[in-house]
Structure 1
Amino acid sequence: MPKIICNNPLSCEDDIKDFVLEGEVDISFSGGAMRLASKRPSSEGQKANFVLWCPKVFPADIMIEWEFRPIREPGLAMLFFAAKPKNGPGSIFDGALLRRTGEYEQYHSGDLNTYHLSYFRRKEPSERGFHTCNLRKSYGGFLVSQGADPIPDASENADWYNMRVVKRGSKVSFYINDLQIFDFYDDGMTFGDLLTGGNIGFRQLSPMVAEYRNLKVTWI
């Protein structure tokens, strides 16, 4: 039987009191949602980006759901999941690992193995004209799957979108508002070992502003 193992509305500061921030971010709450915006200008490049981790370690077979609303672009929104230390057991927050500050190289070629789901990509000119959702796998940042992004451009009046990742065995599926965006079957060899359980985290690129609410993780 499926079992809900995380049900966080992300509606107030207390909801994220144990979350781990890497980088500098302005976090505010209004209307029952969490709004994220970098404190640093995009002119600083990767140094302006950030990751906000949920501290809970999740099992291998899970469904991750959250609601997302893009307020201002350009930028990019990403979910890390199944994140673990690359070299053995332990926590991704272990002080023995290299310090992470939001710069992308630290995540795709650092001390972690993880999936990277970029589901709102409006950073580079090519991304702003041709919208895709990308799934990458680290160590190495390999692009392993891709699908069309149905979300319109960011706006203060943007709708909420229901995001869902289903990770079961060797299969990863992604949906937006119940529309299937892609399936990926991991053979555990071509792009490294099969990723099992681990942490999840929200990543955002400056100067994007976005809102999040109702994070739910179900053990399946």
Structure 2
Amino acid sequence: MNWNEIFSLEKLIYHNPLADEQDVRDFKMEGEAVVSFPLNRMRMENKLDPRMGQKSNFVYWCSVEFPDNIAITWDFWPIREPGLCILFFAAKGIGAEDLFDTRLSVRTGTYDQYHHGDIDAFHVSYFRRKEENERSFHTCNLRKSYGFHLVSQGGDPIPSVADAKGPYRMKLLKWEREILFVINDLTIFHWVDDGKAFGKPLCGGKIGFRQMAPLIAEYANLNVYSISKM
């Protein structure tokens, strides 16, 4: 079943072309990265040596607090691999604090700070060109945190950099406890959270882009819509 047979996009509540520095003036970087706009779209790459492991990775947060029942869409171009990309969403402190509340621990891009720290979030990883066993069959993974719960998975249709054309049109829909991930209108997974097996239900919160070094990728046309269910 296609996503548009289940959900309908309603009001556009946030639009960001990600075309120049002014567009990300309110974004918050955790870790160290180079953000540039050589083709009027946001290019991100690690600043630190990939041999530093997790310390070389980073997260770039949109500062806007979003409600529940939304669709997040963006355009994606892979430029260099290996590495992987992640979208965090429904991110808050474990006590429902704002993600940037000063009472929360400082985060610096190291992965375990995001799944075993003091925040709750979902994250979908895509364009996963990291481990040798992951490169033989590419998948997109949905995880729920606190914890490192792999709750859903689907095949990744994006080709490797040598064959990638782009833009790939990414769409993440969250309706109450349902999450649906789509690439170029192909449904990758559709999962319903029972609110028990993997912790409490998560709703609202912030979104952020994460990359694993030495991957380089570009992003444009970040949109967030309110949605309704048919």
* TM-score scaled by length of structure 1: 0.97
Aligned twin of 1:69? 77
After superposing on structure 2, the runs of 4+ consecutive aligned residues of structure 1 that deviate more than 2 Å are 155-158
Q: Unpaired runs of 5+ in structure 2?
A: 1-8
Task: Decide whether the 8 Å contact of 1:25 with 1:38 is kept in 2.
Answer: yes
2:114 is aligned with what amino acid?
A: Y
Matched, 1:46 2:57: no
- Structure 1 residue 123 displacement after superposition: 1.0
Once residues 124 and 157 of structure 1 are traced to their aligned partners in structure 2, the CA distance between those partners, rounded to angstroms, is 19
Aligned match of 1:203 in 204, 207, 210? Answer: 210
Corresponding residue number in structure 2 for 1:90: 97
2:35 to 27, 37, 40: 27
Partner of 1:142: 149
1:102 aligned residue:
109
Query: Are 2:12 and 1:4 aligned?
Result: yes
CA-atom RMSD, angstroms? 1.2
How far has the Cα of 1:2 moved from its partner?
1.6
CA distance in 1, matches of 2:175, 2:96: 21
Fraction of identical pairs, as percent: 54
Q: CA deviation at 1:137?
A: 0.1
Of the structure 1 ranges 110-119 and 151-160, higher mean CA displacement relative to structure 2 is found in 151-160
Give the TM-score normalised by the residue count of structure 2: 0.93
Q: For 1:30, what is the secondary structure of its paired residue?
A: coil
Note the alpha carbon deviations across 1:98-150, whole angstroms, 9 max, x for none.
11000000000001100010011001111112100000000001000000000
Aligned to 1:56: 64
Structure 1, unmatched stretches of 5+, are none
> Do structure 1's residue 182 and structure 2's residue 189 form an aligned pair?
yes
1:17 aligns with 2:25: yes
Between 1:149-158 and 1:99-108, the stretch displaced more is: 149-158
8 Å CA contact 1:149–1:181 kept in 2: the answer is yes
Please say if residues 11 and 30 of structure 1, whose CA atoms lie closer than 8 Å, have aligned partners that are also in contact: no
Cα distance in 2 between the residues matched to 1:55 and 1:123: 28
8 A contact 2:45–2:217 mirrored in 1: yes
Alignment correspondent of 2:130: 123
